[in-house]
Amino acid sequence: MNLLDLPPVAAVLDTAYRALMGLSYLLEPLAGTAAAAVAVVLLTLAVRAVLVPVGVSQAKAERNRARLAPRLAELQRRHRKDPEKLQRAMRDLYAEEGTTPLAGCLPMLAQAPVVGVVYALFLHAQIAGHDNELLGHDLFGAPLGSSLVGALGGGSMSLPTVAVVGMVVLAIALVGELTRRASLPGGRLAVPRATAATAVAPGGDMPNPLAGPGMQSALGALQFLTAVIACFVPLAAGLYLLVTVTWTLVQRVVLRRRYPFEVAG
């Protein structure tokens, strides 16, 4: 059975489809054949605007983790031989400070369903039993349902598709590089040295591997994973990814200025 045929899933997709088509019709006098692409961009901006309070919570959580890092390291030294006692002490510290080591994960989790909906809308010929008119829309001649890998491997390669999708992928990679550089020591998103040096792992019984140079290099490489994903998903989903990673970078820089790290001794 097709998962998209399940009544709840079909209802969600049909609602999203009608909303996106309605917005496309409104934008058509201004954007022409690119109306659906502009609608996807506006949808992305709307989703990210709704998630701004969550982003603020994430920035505060990052600041709290930086502030608590020395105290967590002290607990590690004090209870090194008693992992259970160490974990209890860490839980008590987080509870006392009103935070959690997992705080800040909600933005990524909240966006996953939206990306899935956009992906499905531009992948299937039918939505909830009716023809999917979104597949007839394009951006500068590249169908919104096309992907770079699909175009290269499926025999449907055209210059507009390769050029437009390729530019989206390159733009995502550029944002990833800017994010990576901003996260390096001295960058606007860098973790203070004191925090990285004293951070402990969530288990609490050994230094945090995320503080090591090898893991930091791996995390830098992960910034480009979104660009790889954009090669496989429809162009419309790639546009969503491009707007959201750009928004994320700008928002993190702004919020880091608003909520700078304060490492306690």
Query: What end-to-end distance do the CA atoms of the chain give, in Å?
Result: 58
Is the per-residue pLDDT at 211 higher than 50? no
52-89 confidence digits (pLDDT tens):
888 888 788 778 777 777 787 888 888 877 788 888 88
Instruction: Tell me if 37 sits within 8 A of 139, measured CB to CB.
Output: yes
What angle (nearest 5°) sits at the alpha carbon of residue 141, between those of residues 139 and 145?
60
Given this model, what pLDDT does residue 201 score?
47
159: CB partners within 8 A, 6+ apart = none
For the CA atoms of 164, 170, 175, 177, what is the dihedral angle to 10 degrees? 180
- List beta partners, residue 126: 131
Q: How many CB atoms lie within 10 A of CB 69?
A: 24
Q: Read off the pTM.
A: 0.79
> What is the amino acid identity at position 264?
A
Instruction: Tell me if 251 sits within 8 A of 52, measured CB to CB.
Output: yes
**3 state DSSP class of 100:** coil
Q: Which pairing describes strands 126-127 and 142-143: parallel, antiparallel, or unpaired? A: unpaired
Instruction: Tell me if 190 sits within 8 A of 201, measured CB to CB.
Output: no
140: CB partners within 8 A, 6+ apart = 34, 160, 163, 164
- Between 127-141, 205-219, 237-251, the lowest mean confidence (pLDDT) is in 205-219
Q: What is the mean predicted confidence (pLDDT) over 224-251?
A: 92
Tokens 């608590």 — which residue?
A: 68
Q: Of all residues in the chain, what percent carry a pLDDT higher than 70?
A: 77
Q: Quick one: pLDDT band at residue 1, thresholds 50, 70, 90?
A: low
19-42 confidence digits (pLDDT tens):
999 999 999 999 988 999 999 999
